[in-house]
Structure 1
Amino acid sequence: MGLFSNQFSNVVEWNEFREDMIFYKWSNQEIKKGSRLIIRPGQDAIFLYNGKIEGIFTDEGDYDIESQIIPFLSTLKGFKFGFNSGIRAEVLFINTKEFLVRWGTGNPINIPTPQLPGGMPIRSNGTFSFKINDYIKLIDKIAGVKSSYFVEDVKLRITSILDQLLMKWIVKEGKDMFNLQSMSFDIAKGIKDDLDMQLFDSGMTITSFQIMSFNYPESVQKMIEKNASHSMIGNMNTYQQASMVDGISSGAVGGGGVASDMAGMMMGMNMANQMMQNINQASNTNQATPTQTSSGAATSSSSSEKPNFCPNCGQKTGEGNFCSNCGHKLN
Structure 2
Amino acid sequence: MAIIDVIKFNGLANRDWLVYRFPGESFVFGTQLIVGEGQIAVFVKGGKAVDFFTAGTHTLSTSNIPLLQSIVNLPFGGRTPFTAEVFFINKTSKLDVLWGTSDPISLIDPKYAVRLRVRAFGQLGIRITDFRVFLTSLIGAVGDGDVVKYDTVISYFKGVIVTKMKTLIADIIINQKISVLEIAPRLEDISAYSKQQLSGEFERFGIEIVNFNLTSINFPDEDFETINRILEDKAAFDLIGDSRYNVMRSFDVMETAAGNEGGGSIAAAGIGLGLGAGAGVAVGQTFGQGIGEAMRPPATSAPCQKCGTPNAEGTKFCSNCGDKLAVVKLPCHSCAALVDERMKFCPECGSSLTKKKCPGCSKENPPGSKFCSDCGTKMEG
- Normalising TM by the smaller chain, what interval? 0.5 to 0.7
Q: Deviations over 1:72-102 (max 9, x none)?
A: 745258555777x622111121111111112
Q: Deviations over 1:263-300 (max 9, x none)?
A: xxxxxxxxxxxxxxxx9745966722124699xxx985
Tell me whether 1:302 sits opposite 2:342 in the alignment.
Answer: yes
Tell me whether 1:86 sits opposite 2:71 in the alignment.
Answer: no
Tell me whether 1:183 sits opposite 2:186 in the alignment.
Answer: yes
Q: Deviations over 1:220-275 (max 9, x none)?
A: 446569959x98xx969xxxxxxxxxxxxxxxxxxxxxxxxxxxxxxxxxxxxxxx
CA contact (8 A) 1:8 1:34 kept: no
> Which residue pairs with 1:289 in the alignment?
326
Tell me whether 1:141 sits opposite 2:137 in the alignment.
Answer: yes
Tell me whether 1:45 sits opposite 2:85 in the alignment.
Answer: no
How big is the shift at 1:117? 6.7
Tell me whether 1:170 sits opposite 2:169 in the alignment.
Answer: yes
The code of the aligned residue for 2:16 comes to D
- Alignment partners' CA distance in 2, 1:32 and 1:122: 59
TM-score (norm 1): 0.62
Task: Report 1 or 2 for greater relative contact order, CA contacts < 8 Å, sequence distance ≥ 6.
Answer: 1
- Alignment partners' CA distance in 2, 1:110 and 1:79: 67
> Which residue pairs with 1:128 in the alignment?
124
- Alignment partners' CA distance in 1, 2:90 and 2:104: 34
Gapped runs of 5+ residues in structure 1? Answer: 1-6, 237-278, 310-331
How big is the shift at 1:210? 0.4
> Which residue pairs with 1:323 in the alignment?
none
Alignment of 1:217-228 (within 5 A): 217-221=220-224, 223=227, 227=231
Gapped runs of 5+ residues in structure 2? Answer: 241-315, 332-337, 346-351, 356-381
> Which residue pairs with 1:155 in the alignment?
154
CA contact (8 A) 2:48 2:136 kept: no
The code of the aligned residue for 1:287 comes to K
> Which residue pairs with 1:197 in the alignment?
200
How big is the shift at 1:40? 0.2
Tell me whether 1:54 sits opposite 2:50 in the alignment.
Answer: yes
- 1:208 maps to which of 208, 211, 235: 211
The code of the aligned residue for 1:127 comes to Q
- Alignment partners' CA distance in 2, 1:159 and 1:225: 36
- Alignment partners' CA distance in 1, 2:156 and 2:203: 13
- Relative to structure 1, the CA distance from residue 191 to residue 48 in structure 2 (aligned partners, 3 Å threshold; closer, same or farther) is same
In the alignment of these two chains, the number of paired residues is 256
- For 2:83, what is the secondary structure of its paired residue? coil
